[in-house]
């Protein structure tokens, strides 16, 4: 699996290295590297507070091929964030690996027969801070793999994939988490397979000058187990360009997985009051360096 991850990261670089003239016309490649950082230092500050530092790295790359009726779209989204408060340990604030590869054959001007491979996981262990004794997630715990067949409606700035036949595979390769039945796998098992319907929407549009909106929405319904409970993974990013190297980003991320149980302490007394599927939400605003290639 580590070799597979390395391949995902190196694929765009290999494509960018092509110098053949025909390849240059057939391939459209690019990406954005972003680093946002904030820091606060307090000494004898009577108003109170904590010294802190935080940062997040984001890499978004694509390599798209088009010749006659054949198209092949590839993208990799990587991010990792950290937070350090005074004497406390460094904790992560974001961690994502998202690779997609979609092969299409034109059926008409806008519609394509398409097959999609999508892989998602994370780089580093995650903890229920401040407890760092036992990890609650790791690389490939969970790992998600979607294999979808269907029709894809494409324009220059939008894509909607409708797949009535999709295999969703959840992997939990960590023994402790697998034995606990984490992320919807049966206790003691390291994977879970589901068959269902899948919709993937991707879009990008300018809002005002130098401000763009990007969104990705994945929805999956399991035919064989509670098909009315739809898994949702929805990310929205507003990119604000200040100049060639400075930018600001506003990101929101909503996840709902009907197979993932989340424990909640409603009273704050340290006891679990409820356990079950819940909406996961992340919001982030950053100002920092950005390089487009």
| Mean pLDDT on 142-165 | 97
User: Confidence class of residue 225 from pLDDT cuts 50, 70 and 90?
Assistant: very high
Longest dimension (CA), the chain: 69
To the nearest whole percent, how much of the chain has pLDDT over 70?
Answer: 89
**Where is 64: in which H helix or E strand?**
strand 52-67
Mean pLDDT value across the chain: 89
Residue 209 has pLDDT above 70, yes or no: yes
Give the C-alpha separation, 37 to 69, whole Å.
44
What is the number of other CB atoms lying within 10 angstroms of the CB of residue 38? Answer: 14
Report whether pLDDT(189) > 50. yes
- Whether 169 has a pLDDT exceeding 80, the answer reads yes
How do beta strands 191-208 and 211-222 pair?
A: antiparallel
The reply to whether omega before 211 is within 30° of 0 (cis) is no
> What pLDDT is attached to residue 25?
74
CA distance 276 to 50: 35
Closest by alpha carbon to 192, among 229, 141, 150? 141
Mean pLDDT on 203-232 = 95
Mean pLDDT for the stretch of residues 262-270: 71
Check if the beta carbon of residue 233 is closer than 8 Å to that of residue 255.
yes
Average pLDDT of span 148-160: 96
Closest CA to 148 of 202, 100, 78, 98: 100
Residues 212-225 have a mean pLDDT of 96
Res 3: pLDDT: 47
Instruction: Output the pTM of the full model.
Output: 0.87
2-40 confidence digits (pLDDT tens) = 444 444 444 444 444 444 445 557 999 999 999 999 999
- Is residue 208 helix, strand or coil? strand
Mean pLDDT, rounded, for 188-209: 96
Task: Please enumerate in sequence order all residues whose Cβ is within 8 A of that of 75, keeping only pairs 6 or more positions apart, or say none.
Answer: 60, 61, 62, 63, 98, 99, 100
* Angle, CA of 133, 254 and 156, to the nearest 5°: 130
Q: How far apart are CA 291 and CA 35, in angstroms?
A: 9
- Among 118, 143, 289, CA closest to 216: 118
9, two tokens: 């990261």
């Amino acid at each position: 699996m580590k070799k597979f991850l390395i391949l995902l990261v190196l694929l765009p670089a290999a494509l960018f290295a092509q110098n053949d003239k025909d390849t240059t016309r057939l391939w459209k490649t690019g990406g954005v590297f972003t680093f946002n950082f904030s820091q606060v230092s307090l000494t004898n500050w009577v108003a109170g507070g904590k010294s802190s530092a935080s940062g997040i790295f984001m890499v978004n790359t694509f390599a798209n091929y088009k010749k006659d009726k054949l198209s092949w779209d590839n993208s990799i989204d990587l991010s990792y964030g950290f937070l350090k408060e005074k004497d406390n340990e460094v904790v992560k604030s974001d961690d994502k690996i998202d690779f997609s590869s979609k092969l299409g054959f034109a059926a008409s001007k806008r519609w394509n027969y398409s097959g999609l491979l999508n892989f998602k996981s994370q780089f580093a262990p995650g903890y229920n801070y401040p407890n760092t004794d036992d990890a609650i997630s790791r690389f490939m715990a969970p790992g998600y793999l979607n294999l979808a067949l269907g029709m894809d409606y494409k324009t220059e700035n939008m894509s909607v994939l409708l797949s009535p036949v999709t295999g969703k595979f959840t992997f939990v390769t960590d023994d402790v988490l697998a034995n606990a039945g984490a992320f919807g796998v049966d206790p003691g098992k390291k994977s879970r397979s589901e068959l269902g319907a899948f919709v993937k929407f991707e879009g990008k549009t300018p809002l005002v000058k130098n401000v763009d909106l990007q969104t990705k929405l994945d929805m999956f319904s399991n035919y064989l187990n509670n098909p009315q409970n739809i898994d949702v993974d929805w990310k929205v990013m507003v990119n604000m360009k200040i100049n060639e190297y400075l930018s600001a980003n506003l990101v929101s991320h909503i996840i709902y997985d009907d197979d993932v149980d989340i424990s909640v302490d409603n009273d704050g007394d340290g006891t679990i009051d409820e356990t079950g599927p819940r909406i996961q939400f992340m919001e982030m605003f950053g100002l920092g360096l950005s390089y487009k290639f």
